[in-house]
Chain A
Amino acid sequence: MIRMSTTLEAPAATRGLVEITKVRKTFGPTEVLKGISLTVEPGGVAVIVGPSGSGKSTLLRTINHLEKVDAGFIAIDGELVGYRVKGNKLHELPERDILKQRTEIGMVFQNFNLFPHLTALENVTEAPVVAPRPGKPRRSQAEARARGLELLDRVGLRDRADAYPRQLSGGQQQRVAIARALALDPKILLFDEPTSALDPELVNEVLDVIRELAKSGTTLIIVTHEMGFARDVADTVVFMDQGQIVEQGKPQDIFTNPQEERTRSFFSKVIEPAFNI
């Protein structure tokens, strides 16, 4: 059902290096990120797991500057997100430049956040026509449409191009949302619990699409509770708890032989032994 097109640029991942350095974030009295440092290599697939409230989603949202960090910094391919260096000062970028940076970082939300008054195709073609992309011209309506249909085809939904989100199942909506994120040819894709709002039987159609993307050379950072999927798809599994990275490593190591007690106790609760592993 899902086939990959060959039009993706940079297959051997030369872009999409994410460097997160000592990032801190406080909401009111609670510090949700307590100095996080994490590097994801170009084309890498990092899966972030951990109990709810551990700061996973917040970390993800700081990467495209939906959430401003209080301290620390994030760089993509060496370029700071949300700031410009001038002398020894960091100047916050104006909105226009932040939007430009965001077009290189696609995001898929837990609740899809499709635009309900636009059709599936219109959802996919909206941003490429109006968003300012660095170094690339805006797409014309016709180009965006052709590319949009191609992307919908890639997630197996070309025949639903004219459907409104409410006429689609949850799994289909999330696949449209993935196509929408891909429409800007991002270097990096962020997934914020992409299957948490789905009925169990719809989870796999979405995971299949993400699995295919993992092979495409785009850097993926995925927050999920699907441990079996994490094991399949991840280069690196990152375990977070209480605003800190407790442990990270290759999936086969971290799942079978976690070093930290907190990691072990979390996995023992969320993994059904004989089933997922």
Chain B
Amino acid sequence: MSSAATRTSQSTPEAQSTRDAPSPSDAPALSDAPAAPDTPAAGTPSPTEPVRPAGLRAAVDYADYRLVPARRPWRWVGTVLVALGVAAVAWSLATNPRWEWGVVAQWFTAKSVVNGLVETLKLTAISGVLGFILGFILALMRLSASPLLVSVSWTFSWIFRSTPLLVQMLLWYNLGYLYEKISLGIPFTDIRFFEAQTTTLISQFAAAVLGLTLNQAAYSAEIIRGGILSVDQGQLEAAAALGIPAWRRSTRIVLPQAMRAILPTAFNEIIGLVKGTSIVYVLAYSELFYTVQVIYNRTQQVLPLLLVATLWYVVITSVLSVFQYYIERHYSKGAVRTLPLTPLQKARKFLATHAPVNTAGRK
């Protein structure tokens, strides 16, 4: 609490000084400008100039005047309040012994936890990639001219978006109860190329990947379709008029432009998927979340271990956010007149402009 208190005392005088407007430094700029035309000494209007009301006159050259930015006292009030809140939270996190940071640190890089983390990343990567590939195909089906393809794609999204993921997961895992054997062959004949017991085929891992992939595909199909629809029809027309083949039209002309609309939502989905993988604990599959559960059931250190899992999720999400930033920047080529600076470039520019003179930014 003490750190927060010092912050308030520091900022109070500043906040007050903004309220009594013409502080000593502002005085010349504020009082000179409007006064100049009235005082006979300044301005020296020539006798030939037509007489105008003093308020409309703009004959004075303001080039040498110093610019004073408008004061924004409420921004300071807001800043102080938020800083107080942040400080309070940080303080309680650091000082409340019940968070048991020692235990967190002990388990954070424990072998079993790291193994769980790897499983989580594996599930995310596999079902993310497969989900988006299937989603892309579903999106193209939905946009095709064939009524059958459209309705199949629509039905797929409808089913998988309306069933809880948990139910899907359990259903895939218990598929052996519904169909004892899975076989690949020519329908309506006895020819079989491949046949296996369902239970041996669908392991926990397979059920997890199946469930996550199909669910992900249903959502990403809609995201990709939205992205494709956001591209101007004229682009396709121009490409067709130039004789560019259909596949090339999609991949070179439409998709790169659709990506701008797809990426933010797609990353939302992937980040959701990272945490969504925790649902496979119902299959007793030892990814991060299940591993942590197993550990705290043994040690009874529930909250610290949940914190371990949470921190790892935060780390993954942060890394993904960095990727997102750079990938989005790549696809904004041509959409903005000048590319925004990367954080690194910004930092370099800040140092370059602020190093020699501290007030360089104000002029």
A residues at B contact (CB < 8 Å): 64, 66, 95-96, 99-100, 102-103, 105-107, 109, 111, 113-119, 126-127, 130-133, 164-167, 180-181, 184
Given known pairs A113-B234, A167-B337, the reply for A66 and B240 (CB within 8 Å) is yes
Docked complex Cα distance between A118 and B245 (Å) = 17
Residues of B207-243 contacting chain A, CB below 8 A: 232, 234-235, 237-243
Given known pairs A113-B235, A117-B257, the reply for A131 and B242 (CB within 8 Å) is yes
Given known pairs A111-B234, A130-B248, the reply for A116 and B334 (CB within 8 Å) is yes
Contact A100 B243, beta carbon cutoff 8 Å: yes
Contact B335 A115, beta carbon cutoff 8 Å: no
Contact A102 B242, beta carbon cutoff 8 Å: yes
Given known pairs A66-B237, A113-B235, A115-B235, the reply for A126 and B252 (CB within 8 Å) is yes
A-B contact pairs, 20 of them (CB 8 A): A64-B241, A66-B237, A106-B241, A109-B234, A113-B232, A113-B234, A113-B235, A115-B253, A116-B257, A116-B334, A117-B256, A117-B331, A117-B333, A126-B244, A126-B252, A130-B252, A132-B243, A133-B243, A166-B334, A166-B335
Nearest chain B CB to A191 CB, angstrom units: 12
Docked complex Cα distance between A111 and B234 (Å) = 8
Contact A66 B241, beta carbon cutoff 8 Å: yes
From B241, B334, B336, B337, contact of A118 by CB (8 A): B334
Interface string of B16-53 (1 = CB under 8 A from A): 00000000000000000000000000000000000000
Docked complex Cα distance between A194 and B246 (Å) = 26
Chain A residues with Cβ below 8 Å from B237 are: 66, 109, 113
Chain A residues with Cβ below 8 Å from B235 are: 113, 115
Chain A residues with Cβ below 8 Å from B238 are: 107, 109, 113-115
Contact A102 B241, beta carbon cutoff 8 Å: yes
Beta-carbon nearest neighbor of A116 in chain B: B334
Given known pairs A66-B240, A113-B238, the reply for A166 and B246 (CB within 8 Å) is no
Beta-carbon nearest neighbor of A166 in chain B: B337
Chain A residues with Cβ below 8 Å from B335 are: 116-117, 166
Contact A184 B243, beta carbon cutoff 8 Å: yes
Nearest chain B CB to A181 CB, angstrom units: 8
From B242, B257, B333, contact of A126 by CB (8 A): B242
Beta-carbon nearest neighbor of B238 in chain A: A113
Chain A residues with Cβ below 8 Å from B331 are: 117
Docked complex Cα distance between A130 and B249 (Å) = 10
Docked complex Cα distance between A116 and B252 (Å) = 12
Contact A131 B337, beta carbon cutoff 8 Å: no
Contact B243 A95, beta carbon cutoff 8 Å: no
Interface string of B308-336 (1 = CB under 8 A from A): 00000000000000000000000101111
Docked complex Cα distance between A95 and B244 (Å) = 11
4 nearest A-B pairs in the assembled complex, by CB-CB distance: A131-B243, A113-B238, A103-B243, A127-B242
Given known pairs A109-B238, A113-B234, A117-B257, the reply for A165 and B244 (CB within 8 Å) is no
Beta-carbon nearest neighbor of A115 in chain B: B253
Nearest chain A CB to B340 CB, angstrom units: 14
Docked complex Cα distance between A273 and B89 (Å) = 78
The interface centre, meaning the residue of B237, B253, B334 with most chain A CB atoms within 10 A of its CB, is B334
Apart from A117-B331, A126-B244, what are 18 other A-B pairs with CB-CB below 8 Å? A66-B237, A99-B245, A100-B243, A102-B241, A105-B241, A107-B241, A113-B234, A115-B238, A117-B257, A117-B334, A118-B334, A119-B334, A127-B243, A127-B244, A130-B244, A164-B333, A166-B335, A166-B336
Contact A103 B245, beta carbon cutoff 8 Å: no
Chain A residues with Cβ below 8 Å from B257 are: 115-117
Contact B244 A99, beta carbon cutoff 8 Å: yes
Docked complex Cα distance between A113 and B244 (Å) = 14
Beta-carbon nearest neighbor of A99 in chain B: B243
Nearest chain B CB to A49 CB, angstrom units: 22
The interface centre, meaning the residue of A96, A99, A109, A164 with most chain B CB atoms within 10 A of its CB, is A99
Chain B residues with Cβ below 8 Å from A111 are: 234
Docked complex Cα distance between A96 and B244 (Å) = 9
From B242, B246, B248, B334, contact of A164 by CB (8 A): B334
Docked complex Cα distance between A17 and B26 (Å) = 77
Docked complex Cα distance between A105 and B242 (Å) = 8
Chain B residues with Cβ below 8 Å from A109 are: 234, 237-238
Nearest chain B CB to A103 CB, angstrom units: 4
Nearest chain A CB to B94 CB, angstrom units: 48
Docked complex Cα distance between A132 and B248 (Å) = 12
The interface centre, meaning the residue of A95, A113, A167, A181 with most chain B CB atoms within 10 A of its CB, is A113
Chain B residues with Cβ below 8 Å from A132 are: 243, 245
Docked complex Cα distance between A105 and B234 (Å) = 17
Beta-carbon nearest neighbor of A167 in chain B: B337
Docked complex Cα distance between A42 and B253 (Å) = 33
Nearest chain B CB to A63 CB, angstrom units: 10
Docked complex Cα distance between A113 and B254 (Å) = 12
Contact B244 A131, beta carbon cutoff 8 Å: yes
Nearest chain B CB to A98 CB, angstrom units: 8
Nearest chain B CB to A170 CB, angstrom units: 15
Docked complex Cα distance between A203 and B336 (Å) = 25
Given known pairs A164-B333, A166-B335, A167-B337, the reply for A96 and B242 (CB within 8 Å) is no
Nearest chain A CB to B337 CB, angstrom units: 6
Nearest chain A CB to B240 CB, angstrom units: 7
Chain B residues with Cβ below 8 Å from A115 are: 235, 238-239, 253, 257
Interface string of B80-98 (1 = CB under 8 A from A): 0000000000000000000
Nearest chain A CB to B53 CB, angstrom units: 38
Chain A residues with Cβ below 8 Å from B245 are: 96, 99, 130-132
Beta-carbon nearest neighbor of A180 in chain B: B242
Nearest chain A CB to B145 CB, angstrom units: 13
Docked complex Cα distance between A7 and B91 (Å) = 77
